[in-house]
Structure 1
Amino acid sequence: MDRAGVGKVCLAMPGVTLEHPFGDDHDAYKVGGKMFAIVGGEGGLSFKVSDIAYEVLIETGRAAPAPYLARAKWVHLADPADWPDEELADHLKSAHALIAAKLTKKARAELGLLLPM
């Protein structure tokens, strides 16, 4: 998946915004003002994963610890095009869900992330 593909997947999720806090060559995808994925200037992709996914992806060599964000269980893919599109899209959706779950109930409701009862 290339930069445009990552953008298409991320921006299709509810409440997502695209910002450039690290310069125009970095795309930061946020939900509720909190990042869940970043595409770097050279095309590398970093995103949030669960604790278990972090261990599996790092131990199997499928991903590297993300610079500056590994302590928060983020992984880095030097070339996201090496991954099957569907699998990467699933990881991005999980990253979105992990970050969205940490938002307040009010923030999730405002973003349309809560299911009506």
Structure 2
Amino acid sequence: MDITAFNHFCQSLPATTYVVQWGGAHVWKVGGKVFALGGVGEDNQTWFTFKTSDQNYCFLESHVGYRPAPYFASRGMKWIQQFAASDAQDEELTYYLLQSYKTVALGLSKRKRMELGIVDFVES
């Protein structure tokens, strides 16, 4: 997945916002909370960072092409970074991005989810 496809997928999710910050990272939020980041490193390699469940974190942290996310994981947060991935892993990445979105959205208050119109989407 390239950065354009990443941004397109994240934009397709309801009630998302986008900003470029932290040294050029493409940052996606729902309800003001970050659920995904993407960028291109100095080596021209794309990377994507997302929040995971405890179970997925344990699986992915030792999976080829994934690592605990710099900054986030060092602070005890369950965030993973995909790097050096092949196009064959695009479907896998979209799954994890969607799960990250839902996890972060479920952390919002029910009232906020209702205001954003995402209750049914997130709870399905």
- Which TM-score applies when normalising by structure 2? 0.84
Q: 2:119 aligns with which of 110, 114, 117?
A: 114
Partners of 1:49 and 1:32 lie apart in 2 by 18
Higher relative contact order (CA 8 A, sep 6+): 1
Relative to structure 1, is the Cα distance of residues 41 and 59 closer, same or farther in structure 2, using a 3 angstrom cutoff?
closer
Per the alignment, residue 8 of structure 1 pairs with: 8
Partners of 2:52 and 2:64 lie apart in 1 by 15
Give the structure with the larger strand fraction.
2
Root mean square deviation, CA, Å: 1.5
Instruction: Give yes or no for contact 1:15–1:111 (8 Å, CA) kept in 2.
Output: yes
Q: What percentage of aligned pairs have identical amino acids?
A: 35
Aligned length: 114
Q: What's the offset of the Cα at 1:40? A: 2.6
Partner SS, residue 70 of structure 2: coil
Per the alignment, residue 66 of structure 1 pairs with: 69
Partners of 2:67 and 2:35 lie apart in 1 by 16
Matches within 5 A, 1:1-117: 1-23=1-23, 25-42=24-41, 43-70=46-73, 71-81=76-86, 83-115=88-120
Relative to structure 1, is the Cα distance of residues 81 and 11 closer, same or farther in structure 2, using a 3 angstrom cutoff?
farther
Structure 1 gaps of 5+ residues are none
Structure 2 gaps of 5+ residues are none
